[in-house]
Structure 1
Amino acid sequence: MAGTLPDGNNPNNNRKLLVVGLIIVLLTINGILFYMQHQKTQQVEEKEEIIRVKNSELENQIKVYEALKADFERQSQELQALGLANDSLESRIASINADLTKLQSFRNSSFSLQDQRLFKARAANLENQLRQKNAEIAKLKEDNQVLYGENTQLKTTSTQLSDTLKTLKSTNTTLTEKVALASRLEAENIQVNIINKRGKEKEDNDAEYRAKRVDKIKVSFKLAKNDVAPKEGKEILMRLIEPDGAAVYNLATGSGTFMLDGQETFFTAKRDIVYDNTQQAVSFIYSKGAAYKRGAHTIELYADGVLIGKSSFTLK
């Protein structure tokens, strides 16, 4: 048939082949692009995973060091409570603080594998030191508890001894007081005589005797037997108390003061004797050097600050 081209030169077939070829090329390019994109995505994910792992490791290390710091601070407080020095622990705590500062700085920079190994090794060493110190503190607490128990026992014993000593002191004081009471001297047969200006003695009950005629007062008595009282020197004091209640007092005639019931008290005259437990006689002859008052007079006798006898007489 005139005008028909051979099959090999058919334009439709050529176009079909061209289209198929283009499709194959496009599919190949898409495949290559897909593969490259997948590889890139995988690399990004791997990098992100590496970063995530490093960040996680960094945060874990920070937590480890924070825990170590807290434990060493606890140990420091426990040692302080035991009254012990803790300079080495303070040094370790300062070192941990420096490590924490360095670790926290890695949040803004690379935390390399070398850094990880370094800080892990240092943390392991610190944990070992922590365990050793915990064992030491536990032993110290145990020893301290034993010492506390022994100290408590010693305090109990000391308190018991103190109570015993107090009881003994109280008993001794009581015995001393009893001995002192038993050893007190006692004036017996106290007699008061009046001596006039001519040297004649009269008893105070002489109704005709008057105050204006009195020159001297004579007080005589005996010291009662007392087997408890020591044989030693004694000072006997006499107080002549006038009707107005005041004691006659004159330094020129030997008067003075002594302590009576915690108060300074005047005495009129004194005698120094050696007590010998023989019912020895003692006497005072006192000259006032001035006119005597009318009325009731009192004589008080003292030895060792204690009243040993008392009498009275009246002048008209």
Structure 2
Amino acid sequence: MANDTLEKESNRTPEKDSNRKLLVVGLIIVLLSINGILIYMQQQKTQENEEQKEIIKVKSTELENQIKVYETLKADFERQSAELKSMGLTNDSLESRIAAINSDLAQLRAFRNSSFTVADQKRFQLRAQNLEMALQKKDEEVAKLQTDNEELFTEVKGLKTTQNKLSDSIVSLATNNTALSEKVALASKLEAQNLAVSILNDRGKEKTDDEEEYKAKRVDKIKLTFKLGKNEVAAKENKEILMRLIEPDGSALYNLATGSGTFEYEGKEQFYTAKRDIVFDNTNQQVTFIYSKGAPFKTGKHTVELYTEGYLIGTTSFTLK
């Protein structure tokens, strides 16, 4: 056996040992190469994983940015809607656009739980650009409307000021006209002149109260005559003259059957005894009243008052014994 070992060792040659070494070295080199390749591949995979994570992170940021863009657009369109409503205006297309933005926002938020592709990103970016252009155009329209509204408000305010001034002028003119009318009315007031009272008995005989004493029981009628003074201001037209015959106790004779009635004087209702309708002709014309009481007259002082157009135009008195 020892001999066999010696024989084997004797069979080794330097050439065989060299080949064996080369084989071992080659094997080592191959193993090292494979190991290097494996390490490189692992590094590449790790790098790819990191890059993929970065891509996903970038997409998530882009999605959130896009959501913010749409939220800003929604707020701006709602601002426009509020501005129009403050001017009393509405815009259906604006409300429709806000509804569309709400729909887009709902879709974008849904992408948080799913993939947000480049195509999706481009699609929503394009829609956002169109919305921004529409927003800018609508802002210009709203600004013009606000300017026009302010100008209109200024004009209306100016018109109101003018109207108030005009109203004040009208009130002032009306006041002046009223005052002037009152002055004209006062100036046109008629005046009963030369009033005279006479007494008629039952036989028609006439006596004046300044003649001999006349007893009341013999009086059948009272006759009053007077002249209307000239007045250039008074209109030449029909005039209604009222006579009040006031008895000694202070009450006015009043009988509907003989044409008596009521009228207003200085805010109070008064009774008149008789009335005459005449046409004033500014000729100092004479007017006559003949009144029959239909019953005995009372003794004492009687007063006669004449009225027309709300004015007391004459008064006189007579006494019966």
TM-score bracket for the superposition, by shorter chain length: 0.7 to 0.9
In structure 2, the partner of 1:91 is 96
Matched, 1:215 2:220: yes
Of 62, 67, 85, 1:57 maps to 62
Matched, 1:174 2:179: yes
In structure 1, the partner of 2:238 is 233
**Which segments of 5 or more consecutive residues in structure 1 lack a partner in the other structure?**
9-19
Matches within 5 A, 1:40-51: 40-51=45-56
Alignment deviations for residues 177-210 of structure 1 (CA, whole Å, 9 cap, x no partner) = 2111111101112222232333333334568433
Mapped contact 1:205–1:314 kept (Cα < 8 A): no
Of 147, 153, 156, 2:152 maps to 147
Matches within 5 A, 1:183-198: 183-198=188-203
Q: Which residue type is aligned with residue 163 of structure 1?
A: D
Distance 1:206 1:105, change over 3 A: farther
Q: CA–CA distance in 2 between the matches of 1:119 and 1:170?
A: 73
Q: Which residue type is aligned with residue 140 of structure 1?
A: L
Q: Give the CA deviation at 1:109.
A: 1.5
Alignment deviations for residues 264-300 of structure 1 (CA, whole Å, 9 cap, x no partner) = 4322111111111121111111001122233433211
Secondary structure of the residue that 1:229 maps to in structure 2?
A: coil
Matched, 1:253 2:251: no
Percent identical pairs in the alignment equals 67
- Which segment is superposed worse, 273-282 or 43-52? 43-52
Q: CA–CA distance in 1 between the matches of 2:320 and 2:213?
A: 10
Mapped contact 1:301–1:308 kept (Cα < 8 A): yes
- Which segment is superposed worse, 87-96 or 305-314? 305-314
Superposition TM-score, scaled by structure 1 size: 0.84
Q: CA–CA distance in 1 between the matches of 2:38 and 2:266?
A: 123
- Which segment is superposed worse, 30-39 or 70-79? 30-39
Q: Give the CA deviation at 1:154.
A: 3.1
Alignment deviations for residues 227-279 of structure 1 (CA, whole Å, 9 cap, x no partner) = 11122221111112233433222121111233334554322111111111121
Matched, 1:70 2:75: yes
In structure 2, the partner of 1:284 is 289
Of 298, 306, 319, 1:301 maps to 306
- Which segment is superposed worse, 24-33 or 174-183? 24-33
Q: Which residue type is aligned with residue 227 of structure 2?
A: K
Distance 1:43 1:244, change over 3 A: farther
Distance 1:243 1:64, change over 3 A: farther
Distance 1:49 1:295, change over 3 A: farther
**Aligned length, in residue pairs:** 307
In structure 2, the partner of 1:111 is 116
Q: Which residue type is aligned with residue 64 of structure 2?
A: E
Q: CA–CA distance in 2 between the matches of 1:244 and 1:102?
A: 105
In structure 2, the partner of 1:11 is none
In structure 1, the partner of 2:318 is 313
Q: Give the CA deviation at 1:314.
A: 3.4
**Which segments of 5 or more consecutive residues in structure 2 lack a partner in the other structure?**
13-24
Q: Which residue type is aligned with residue 187 of structure 1?
A: A
